[in-house]
Amino acid sequence: MQGVGTKCHSYDLFRDIYNEFKEKDVIAGLYNFDQLVYMIIDLELVKNILVRDFNYFFNRKMYVNEEGEPLTGHLFSLRARRKFNFFKERGIPYVEPSFPLGNFQGVGSKYHSFDVFRDIYDKLKGKDVIAGVYSFTQPVYLIMDVELVKNVLIRDFNTFINRGGFVNEKDEPLTGHLFSLKDDKWRFLRNKLSPAFTSGKMKAMYYTISDKGKDYVDLVDNVLKEGKAINIKEITNCYTVDVVASVAFGMESNTMKGEHPELLNIFKELFGPDGTSFLKFFFLNAFPNFSKTIKLRVFSKDISDFFINVISRNIENREKTNDNRQDFLNMLIQLKNKGSIDGEFSTENRKITLNDALAQAFVFYFASADASSTTISFALAELAHHSEIQERLRTEILEKTKGKENDEISYETLQEMTYLGQVVNETLRMYTMGSILLRQANEDYKIPNSKHVIPKGADVFVPMIGLHFDDRYWKNPYKFDPERFTPEEIAKRPNHVYLPFGDGMRNCIGMRYALLTVKFALATILRNFKVTPNPKMKYPIKFNPKNPLMEPDGGFWLNIERI
């Protein structure tokens, strides 16, 4: 802005800047004093900002001080307030929002989204079959009735087939994965990939998990020898990264032996408390058109290039050497070259592309590495605080493995450990990955036996965390109690109140693999070590509001001793 007000008029300056940049890119950058400002150059983007994506740009940055200077209060936030009437006008229960974050005031600073969703659900439950929340100024429907949960996830699946995830396959091939894909492309890939996750295939791939058991135990032993305090999550991250790199990329990463530290650095970048990539992932989902136009990326170029190089190189090597390892990467190669997985029936032989394969290998990493290690860590934290449950579980593990070759924890032995299953189920009730399941209505949806309609295009949340703590279904819901998952107790509860892996055709495709990874890790640790509370970790667990993922405030500190 040099010279404005002395040598030139701002009018001329802006025209000159525009002319200079008009053919260079869709946006340009200016500095207003030391403030970075975007100039919108592209006409399509002008339309998005002024009209189509108005919700995200409805404020002008202006000084307002309604108390001290009432005249500055003019039209400020009037539009937002009008938007906040959406549910009131429709007679749908809601929690009073506030400007500008709607119902998410304080999320990320004072509160964790997990607690906020649980709180909203508790305030609204029992009032109607649906309720409303405001995500920023955007109205979102909450499904409050178990029968309606079933309709949205299963019966009327065709109306709610999509999540509204961000996909930009052209500029960022890794975004073309199953979690975010929509409509026909999603159907095509889900049909192609489902045979890779049958129980037969899980049994064949089990060695990719059990192979890593010894390294996991050695790593804990080494940390114990060093006499350092144990952050169980940090150790377990290495285990899950090694498992997933092996099964999805065909890479022996050996982070548990100190090799390939770059994989752990990337893990921290994606999932750590400063996990900007992860936050950006949600931002892009919320602002898809704007993000595409300005070519915003979900993952930094370095992260994308790293994964694309590693996976492509391993695909190439496998193809050259005809290596027939039984893992996910090999099944992707078969789908790319033949259109079907060996030994599996397929109704159509259309092949997947190399980019499809890269994105699916990547989502295996993205969806599983942190979710599995978080589940293992929360289970161990609860077991440390419930010694009687820990002892009972250890007795089961020792009994079932006794007399087995090398005391091996085989695939079949793991299936026989029913109490282990109960402990894992209870862990996933209390510590679900994400508080909600996301869906989007692709047509107006008249709710059966209700006056309400969910309009086409509306975002819908199934309040997984609310249901998991609803005292109408779970007695004493804040207590860790694996007895809730005996067959008799399960039979007493309605279906669809327990959804740690979602439900319906868009449920978690990796559920079986995830459960094997988690159960194997717990059986391995508890057979060798005893875990007890460490004063550095507060209990009952409070979540770190700054981490969008679930992490106890202060970290996962436990005392561990050899048995």
Annotated binding site for heme: 508
Dig out the tokens for 65 from the structure: 């001080």
Residue from 160, 474, 513, 556 that binds ligand HEM (CB under 6 A)?
513
Q: State the burial class of residue 488 (Cβ atoms within 10 Å of its Cβ: 0-12, 13-18, 19+).
A: exposed
Q: Tell me, what amino acid is at 404? A: K
Task: Please report which helix (H) or strand (E) contains residue 127, including its range.
Answer: none
If binding is defined by CB under 6 A, does position 503 make contact with ligand HEM?
yes
What is the nearest approach in angstroms of ligand HEM to the Cβ of residue 500? 5
Angle in degrees, CA 418, 421, 425, rounded to 5: 145
If binding is defined by CB under 6 A, does position 367 make contact with ligand HEM?
yes
Chain residues 398-417 in contact with ligand HEM, contact rule CB under 6 A: none
The DSSP output letter for 8 is B
Q: Give whichever of 80 and 178 is closer to ligand HEM, judged by the CB atom.
A: 178
If binding is defined by CB under 6 A, does position 307 make contact with ligand HEM?
no
Q: Give whichever of 84 and 206 is closer to ligand HEM, judged by the CB atom.
A: 206
Dig out the tokens for 421 from the structure: 């299953």
Q: Give whichever of 346 and 507 is closer to ligand HEM, judged by the CB atom.
A: 507
Point out which span in 106-114, 124-132, 398-406, 512-520 binds ligand HEM (CB under 6 A).
512-520
If binding is defined by CB under 6 A, does position 230 make contact with ligand HEM?
no
Point out which span in 80-88, 95-103, 223-231, 366-374 binds ligand HEM (CB under 6 A).
366-374
If binding is defined by CB under 6 A, does position 292 make contact with ligand HEM?
no
If binding is defined by CB under 6 A, does position 368 make contact with ligand HEM?
yes
Dig out the tokens for 407 from the structure: 């005391």
CA distance 237 to 220: 12
Residue from 173, 275, 482, 502 that binds ligand HEM (CB under 6 A)?
502
CA distance 301 to 307: 10
If binding is defined by CB under 6 A, does position 363 make contact with ligand HEM?
yes
SS3 label, residue 545: coil
Dig out the tokens for 61 from the structure: 């940055």
Q: Give whichever of 240 and 340 is closer to ligand HEM, judged by the CB atom.
A: 240
| Residue whose pair of structure tokens reads 């860790």 in the numeric block | 480
Residue from 213, 500, 545, 552 that binds ligand HEM (CB under 6 A)?
500
| φ/ψ bin of 48: left (φ > 0), alpha (ψ from -120 to 50), beta (otherwise) | alpha
Point out which span in 67-75, 97-105, 291-299, 363-371 binds ligand HEM (CB under 6 A).
363-371
Dig out the tokens for 408 from the structure: 């091996």
**Could you tell me which of 539, 389, 361, 462 has the C-alpha nearest to residue 131?**
462
CA distance 199 to 176: 26
CA distance 144 to 227: 49
If binding is defined by CB under 6 A, does position 510 make contact with ligand HEM?
yes
SS3 label, residue 409: coil
Q: Give whichever of 297 and 512 is closer to ligand HEM, judged by the CB atom.
A: 512
What is the nearest approach in angstroms of ligand HEM to the Cβ of residue 516? 9
Can you name the residues that pair with 142 across neighbouring β-strands?
Answer: 131, 461
If binding is defined by CB under 6 A, does position 121 make contact with ligand HEM?
no
CA distance 41 to 46: 7
Q: Give whichever of 48 and 432 is closer to ligand HEM, judged by the CB atom.
A: 432
**Whose CB is nearest to ligand HEM?**
502
Point out which span in 217-225, 227-235, 410-418, 498-506 binds ligand HEM (CB under 6 A).
498-506
Q: Give whichever of 84 and 364 is closer to ligand HEM, judged by the CB atom.
A: 364
Point out which span in 41-49, 445-453, 499-507, 523-531 binds ligand HEM (CB under 6 A).
499-507
CA distance 347 to 192: 9
If binding is defined by CB under 6 A, does position 131 make contact with ligand HEM?
no
**Could you tell me which of 177, 509, 526, 488 has the C-alpha nearest to residue 386?**
526
Q: Give whichever of 98 and 442 is closer to ligand HEM, judged by the CB atom.
A: 442
The DSSP output letter for 533 is E
- Residue ranges that bind ligand HEM, judged by CB under 6 A: 178-179, 190, 363-364, 367-368, 371-372, 375, 433, 437, 500-503, 506-510, 513-514, 518
